[in-house]
């Protein structure tokens, strides 16, 4: 045994083996020539190294058409009518996912062989029965690595969990399969799942396909990248602090965080004491997609069935009919009322974010039957981030810390100053935090409703448009405060990300300082992303700028509707409802 081998920490050979096994899942004919691979580590002088268009150089015309030309609804229709077979669709998406992996390192478990085999079985079923297996027959999907799939690792980037395959599927995975989906891959996540940049010691860092100098986001970072690269038709992530909405923002796609109880969550890789989520804050599962319409089609099939599969889901329907072609809401004449909320009081938004909020507000005002109002920051929203941070750490991260130390893994740089093993909080402390949460929930109700002199309440606000973050897509390891996303999980409000446009040089105000009063430590860190002595603002040019749409608790279908109106407004579409497949 060599001295080098003797000096290795236990995690290192596990990581090498895992990466080799992953690479072996890519057929040799799908391997890219070295000259098209981006240069790493990325440097400012290399530029953004945008790879979104690289796959089309190595796909057939048919594969390009399959992966680029369809919505979920039209793809399902093409498969059901036998214009396309499930097998050729699965092969096209697997090929594209393999290319995406080589360019961005977005996958943990390529499931290409099993996906193609599953697709063949679906083709046989359609031929023999004359009808699709289920409502999502042949739909290629991907899932975050946290979701258990029987016989496949849910390592979440920890060497300790490698080569310990799941014994059964996560509930949502089983639901997707029951409807005829084809799962093409599992996707990369950050170490501890508590970071907003997807890097771990086992699989490495997932890179942003638009700009390699910027983060791909987390914790569903691999999912956001794969959807942006069109390596799956739609992806399933999870969200507790922003882990669906942030990757959607970073990769210029759509993210949807539902209310708790809408989609099954059980069967995730266990990262803490079992059941701890029910004492603190519960994460939710939700889609990352290419369009609002695709989100609508998927949720229409999943939500009404969720309570049949998940013990954590409530029975609820989802409209089968096309959305109303006219915006409707709680306004005095039935108009949709949208409030623009610019800051959470913890961070002052940077100029590109302010510009986009101005533009979206103006575009919505030009939309028939929509009223836009400016909202002052509620004091409760400012306080939410602190309470959320405390509730998320009530278990002391003991299990996560023990799994990391078991194989002597180092903490990745971003986590090194932020993660430490603590002690579980006593029940009385958890109850105290939950009481603070309840008080914030009651206080936040006041932005949605009006109370008359007789004590009767009516809704006066239908939705909020606010930032996903106070800054543009930041440099690698540069993501700042998550209060603008985590707060909505604390309050259990449905929230989604809608891309608006790319950042332009005119947004940068080069040579001009931010000004204004520093609001606190989070704001101080946020200002570093605009301080030209610390950050070259030119890094932001060409990266996506998005907004977040939020609606009251349990109004998930309303969120899809409002996201559709926002998306139509920014695209200049007049009276364009979310379309229905039925």
Q: Which residues contribute to the annotated binding site? A: 193, 219, 240-243
Nearest to 555 by CA among 468, 498, 488: 488
User: How many whole angstroms from its chain centre is CA 188?
Assistant: 12
Q: Is 104 helix (H, G, I), strand (E, B) or coil?
A: helix
Structure letter (DSSP) for residue 60:
-
Structure letter (DSSP) for residue 376:
P
Q: Is 256 helix (H, G, I), strand (E, B) or coil?
A: strand
Q: CA of 21: how far to CAs of 14, 92, 193, 232, 555, in Å?
A: 11, 22, 23, 21, 43
Say which of 85, 86, 154, 219 is annotated catalytic. Answer: 219
Beta bridge partners of 548: 466, 497
Structure token digits, residue 57: 């150089």
Does residue 144 carry a catalytic annotation? yes
Nearest-angstrom CA–CA distance, 575 and 279: 44
Report whether 280 contacts 250 (CB < 8 A): no
Report whether 383 contacts 440 (CB < 8 A): yes
Say which residue the tokens 């914790």 belong to. Answer: 219
Does residue 60 carry a catalytic annotation? no
Annotated binding site for substrate, which residues? 193, 219, 240-243
Say which of 91, 144, 230, 257 is annotated catalytic. Answer: 144
Nearest-angstrom CA–CA distance, 389 and 235: 27
H/E run at residue 307: helix 292-309
Structure token digits, residue 278: 């029910």
Report the alpha-carbon angle 223-224-228, nearest 5.
Answer: 115
Contacts 24+ apart (CB under 8 A), 293-296: 293/71, 293/72, 293/73, 293/564, 293/578, 293/579, 294/71, 294/72, 294/73, 294/233, 294/234, 294/254, 295/234, 295/254, 295/256, 295/496, 295/560, 295/563, 296/560, 296/564, 296/578, 296/579, 296/580
| Cα radius of gyration rounded to whole Å, the chain | 23
Say which of 198, 232, 243, 343 is annotated catalytic. Answer: 243
Does residue 142 carry a catalytic annotation? no
Residues serving a catalytic function are 144, 219, 243
């Amino acid at each position: 045994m060599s001295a080098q081998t003797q000096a290795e920490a236990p995690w290192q050979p596990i990581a090498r083996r895992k990466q080799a096994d992953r690479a072996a899942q890519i057929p040799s004919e799908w391997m890219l020539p070295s000259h098209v691979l981006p240069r790493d580590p990325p440097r400012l002088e290399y530029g953004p190294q945008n790879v979104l268009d690289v796959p089309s150089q190595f796909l057939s015309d048919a594969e390009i058409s399959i992966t680029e030309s369809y919505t979920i609804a039209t793809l399902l229709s093409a498969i059901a009518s036998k214009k396309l077979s499930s097998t050729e669709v699965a092969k096209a998406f697997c090929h594209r996912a393999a290319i995406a992996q080589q360019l961005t390192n977005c996958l943990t478990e390529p499931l290409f062989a099993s996906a193609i085999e599953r697709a063949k079985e679906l083709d046989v079923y359609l031929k023999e029965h004359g009808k699709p297996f289920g409502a999502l027959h042949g739909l290629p999907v991907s899932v975050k690595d946290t979701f258990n799939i029987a016989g496949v690792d849910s390592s979440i980037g920890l060497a300790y969990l490698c080569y310990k395959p799941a014994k059964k599927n996560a509930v949502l995975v089983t639901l997707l399969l029951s409807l005829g989906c084809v799962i093409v891959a599992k996707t990369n996540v950050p170490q501890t799942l508590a970071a907003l940049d997807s890097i771990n010691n086992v699989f490495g860092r997932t890179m942003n396909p638009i700009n390699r100098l910027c983060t791909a986001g987390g914790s569903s970072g691999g999912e956001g990248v794969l959807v942006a690269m069109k390596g799956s038709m739609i992806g399933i992530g999870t969200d507790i602090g922003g882990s669906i909405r942030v990757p959607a923002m970073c990769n210029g796609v759509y993210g949807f965080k539902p209310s708790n109880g809408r989609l099954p969550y059980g069967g995730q890789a266990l990262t803490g004491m079992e059941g701890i989520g029910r004492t603190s804050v519960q994460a939710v599962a939700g889609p990352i997609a290419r369009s609002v319409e695709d989100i609508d089609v998927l949720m229409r099939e999943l939500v009404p069935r969720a309570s049949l599969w998940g013990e954590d889901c409530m029975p609820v329907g989802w409209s089968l009919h096309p959305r109303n072609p006219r915006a409707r809401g709680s306004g005095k004449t039935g108009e949709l009322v949208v409030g623009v909320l610019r800051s959470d009081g913890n961070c002052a938004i940077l100029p590109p974010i302010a510009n986009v909020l101005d533009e979206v507000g103006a575009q919505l005002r030009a939309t028939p039957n929509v009223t836009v109002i400016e909202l002052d920051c509620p004091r409760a929203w400012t306080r939410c981030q602190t309470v959320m941070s405390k509730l998320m750490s009530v278990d002391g991260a003991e299990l996560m810390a023990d799994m990391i130390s078991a194989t002597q893994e180092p903490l990745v740089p971003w986590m090194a100053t932020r993660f430490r093993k603590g002690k579980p909080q006593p029940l009385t402390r958890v109850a105290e935090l939950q009481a603070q949460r309840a008080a914030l929930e009651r206080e936040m109700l006041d932005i949605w409703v009006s109370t008359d002199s007789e004590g009767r309440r009516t809704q006066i606000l239908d939705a909020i448009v606010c930032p996903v973050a106070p800054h543009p897509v930041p440099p690698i390891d540069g993501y700042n405060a998550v209060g603008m996303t985590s707060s909505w999980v604390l309050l259990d409000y449905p929230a989604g990300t809608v891309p608006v446009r790319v950042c332009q040089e005119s947004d940068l105000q080069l040579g001009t300082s931010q000004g204004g009063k520093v609001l606190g430590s989070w704001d101080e860190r946020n200002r570093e992303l605009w301080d030209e002595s610390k950050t070259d603002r030119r890094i932001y040019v060409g990266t996506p700028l998005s907004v977040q749409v939020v609606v009251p608790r349990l109004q998930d279908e309303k969120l899809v509707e409002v996201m559709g109106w926002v998306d139509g407004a920014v695209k200049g579409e007049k009276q364009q409802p979310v379309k229905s497949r039925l």
